[in-house]
Each structure stands twice: as structure tokens, then as C-alpha cells.
Structure 1
Amino acid sequence: MTRHRLLLGLLALVLATAASTTLLARAGARPDPCVVKGERAEAREALVTGSGTQVLVIGDSYSVGAGVLPEESWPVRLPGRVRVDGFSGSGFSRGASGCGDVSYATRAAAAAGSARAGLARADLVVVEGGLNDADQPGADLEAGFVRLVEVLDGRPALVVGPPPAPRLPYDDVAAVDAALTRLAAVHGTAYLSMLDVELTYQQDRLHPDAAGQRVFGDRVAAQVRSLLTTGSRPRP
């Protein structure tokens, strides 16, 4: 009997230890980064600012405002009624993100069928990014750009290139800027190079801080105003 009770006690101890380990593992488990990025994207999309001309921003973590408050992200500086479709880590290339195909062209196609995103109602589409394409094959960047142009189907657009983030090799960023400059010229798309912009960054040396976001946003806003005044017209 004593031996039987001892065995039962040991079994209970093992089960309790296993259960505690499972609970601790669950409590300490890190959330899926792609799920987190998706939630942040949805939260940023819910913030619609301004009024008047419809502007849709498609971009990466800069558009989402990674590391700052959503209301401190650069798209709030733009004129018009601004909606943001941002996803951290995404780019022109299909393989830019580790979260599957969340490339700009793919998301633009999804936005075309979304009443909330309102691509069909956009008077101007601002496409921002390129940093996440710095380590992608040039052919993939070009293919992604061409797909994006096809999806936009003649809608007025402004492509905003990558800034010289200190964390990335300058030559890699400059190569993306050169490729986007060439592609925009070939396809008749307005292009704003950010290669010479001076931003202040967070500790990661990749994402702008709140002040850097303001500088970035004001520079894009000036170009948007110019396009809305002289280059683009509201779609019927």
C-alpha cells in the first residue's frame, strides 16, 4: 500500500510539473510576428485623417509608424482624406516579406475590391518603400513594380523611394533608388527620391523617430500638393 501511494504521488508530481512547464511555455511564448504585423496594419488602416481629396497610401513599416504612435506616422502630414494600407517588412518584391506575398501589387489588388481601402475612389495613390527590397534580386523588384502599375490601371500615383537608413548599406539603398527612378520614368509614374533626406532615427537605426516621421511626411506632402494641383485630377 505504501509503495502504491508512493507511485501515485510521484505520478501526480510528474503530471503537475509537466502542466506547469506547459503553462510557462505558453505564457512565455512569443506571438507570431506576422500576426502582430497584421494587427498593426489593421490598427493603422483604421486611422483615417483629413478631408477632401481621396489619398491612399500603400507602404511598409514607415507608413504604419513602427515604433511611434499611429498619429505620429508620416501619412498624417499629407493633404486630403488619407487612408493607409501599410504592412511592416513589405516591399515591391514578392519575397521582401517573410509573411508571404504581401507585396504592394498584391495588396493593391486586394484594395481594389475593398470598400474600406477605397482604391477605386482614390484620387492619388502614394506608394512608399524600397528598404525591404534592398536584399532582393533586381528582377523581382522590377517585376513587382510592373505588376503594381498594372493593378493601378492608370490611376494617378506617386512612388516614394527609400531613405538612407543607417542600418542598411548605403550602396544597396542607392541601387533600389536608381532602379525605382528608372522604372518610374519608363512607366510614366511620378517618383520622389528620398536618398538625400536627413532623418532622425530610433535606436534600431532603421525606423524614423517622431521627428523623423514629420520630416519624411512634410517632404512627401509637398510633392502630393504639387501633383494634386497640377498633375492629377479626381476620378469620376
Structure 2
Amino acid sequence: MWPEALLAMALATLPAGAATGAANAAPEPRFLALGDSYTIGEGVAPEGRWPVQLAARLRERGIAIGEPRLIATTGWTTDELEAGIDAAAAREPLPADHALVSLLIGVNNQYRGRPLAEYEQQFSALLERAIGFAGGDPARVLVLAIPDWGVTPFAIRSGRDRAKIAAQLDAFNAAARRIADARGARFVDIAPVSRERGGEAAMLAEDGLHPSAALYALWAEAALPVAEALLRR
């Protein structure tokens, strides 16, 4: 039987008016999450990713929000995220009506030794794109701080200069906060809790570098009041 016939039969069994209501039901508000390994959730199950956990917590509070669309890949720098957004938009259009957009990017710029000035320029451009995806409303954009990977066993085993990593990431985060504040985006500082808890075994994925779902839960908890407030406006 053709799918159209099956659909017609199913609709015919609904109570009067139900078919029209289903057809006219408003779609769930969109959530777009932009970033790198910290957004895609390297080493964790999809439900453990922080944007997915945030969406679930918002729904628990009675706030309608769709499952996040993630444009993120492990290892991406700011310019690679820019190219990734272009590629994703070519495959499937990116509308400008997202109720919530998150942006977390920059750790790989620091890891590769890329200059802060370059990060500032490219991050500013990405933030403008994020605002565009949020219908031009910067208050619907969450910028998350970059966590300090220098506290992880990976950094310790590889003999990295943990103080240098911390100082560089502090500078990157200060720039991101300044740029976000200037445009009216919401900055969520998950760096302190990541620095405090990010070296614990329970807070790490198997690679000893990336966060586990437990640490992502703390990030979602930090972002929750900000996201809830802006979505209830």
C-alpha cells in the first residue's frame, strides 16, 4: 500500500478535528549548537552531550525546545567551524528563527598555538552568524567559556605546561566574554567548575582528556538558568 493511503487511513481514525490540529501543530522551537569536540561530545553517548542535556532539562521545566541541531566536529578551530557551518547550510538550509543558539569554540586555536588576535577576529564573525541564526536577537545566543584541559590526565601525562595553558585559555575566554557582552549575547562561564572538577576520573571520558556526561551535566546546569530566562521572555 502506498504511504499516502496509509496516512489517509490513519487520519480517518482520528477524532473530528484531530487531523487538522495535528497538521497545524506549531513546530518545536529550534536549538542550534555550534562548536567542536566539547559540543559534539567526544567519547560520550549522544544523550550525554551538554546541549542535549540542556534541552532535556528545559523540557522538564515546561519549556518547549527541540532537540539541538549540532554543527560541531572534534578538532575544529574557529575558521574550521566557519567552513563547517557553510557545508552544513549547503546540505540543509539553516533558518534564522532559532529560539536558542550556543557557541563554544577556541580550544583548538589555543592547542595549535594560533594567535589570540586571530581568534578574536574569527570569533566575532562566528558570533555574528550565530546572532543571525537567532533571528538577529543576540540575547538568544549562549556563549560558553572554553574549559581548561590543562587539568586533565592527558595534559599531565604529556608533560604540558599547565600554567601556560591556563593563562592562554583565560585570555581567550576574556576575549570571548568581552565580545559577547559587547553584542548582547549571554556568556556562561563553565571554566571554573571545569578547572575544579575536570581532573576527576568520573568527570572524564575514556581518553582522559574530554569531559564525561557527568561534567557536561554541570555545564548544562550552569547554562540552564540563563537559557530558561531568555526562553521565558
Corresponding residue of 2:99: 123
TM-fit CA distance, 1:173:
1.4
Question: Given the alignment of the two structures, is residue 66 of structure 1 paired with residue 42 of structure 2, yes or no?
Answer: yes
Quick one: which of 139, 159, 181 aligns to 2:177?
Answer: 181
Question: Given the alignment of the two structures, is residue 163 of structure 1 paired with residue 147 of structure 2, yes or no?
Answer: yes
Quick one: which of 205, 221, 231 aligns to 1:228?
Answer: 231
Structure 1 or 2: more helix by fraction: 2
Give the TM-score, by structure 2 length. Answer: 0.64
| Counterparts of 2:181 and 2:97, CA distance in 1 | 25
Corresponding residue of 1:211: 214
Which runs of no fewer than 5 residues in structure 1 stay unpaired?
1-50, 95-101, 231-236
TM-fit CA distance, 1:192:
1.2
Which runs of no fewer than 5 residues in structure 2 stay unpaired?
1-26, 56-64, 156-161
Quick one: which of 115, 128, 136 aligns to 1:137?
Answer: 115
Asked if the contact 1:112/1:119 (under 8 Å) is kept, the reply is no
| Counterparts of 1:204 and 1:174, CA distance in 2 | 24
| Counterparts of 1:205 and 1:143, CA distance in 2 | 31
Asked if the contact 2:35/2:103 (under 8 Å) is kept, the reply is yes
**CA distance 1:61–1:113, change in 2 (3 Å):** same
Asked if the contact 2:44/2:205 (under 8 Å) is kept, the reply is no
Asked if the contact 2:186/2:226 (under 8 Å) is kept, the reply is no
With a CA cutoff of 8 Å and minimum separation of 6, indicate the structure with the bigger relative contact order.
Answer: 2
TM-fit CA distance, 1:114:
5.0
TM-fit CA distance, 1:188:
2.3
TM-fit CA distance, 1:115:
3.5
Give the TM-score, by structure 1 length. Answer: 0.63
- Percent identical pairs in the alignment equals 29
| Counterparts of 1:195 and 1:187, CA distance in 2 | 21
Corresponding residue of 1:7: none
- The secondary structure found in structure 1 opposite 2:84 is helix
TM-fit CA distance, 1:75:
1.5
**CA distance 1:185–1:157, change in 2 (3 Å):** same
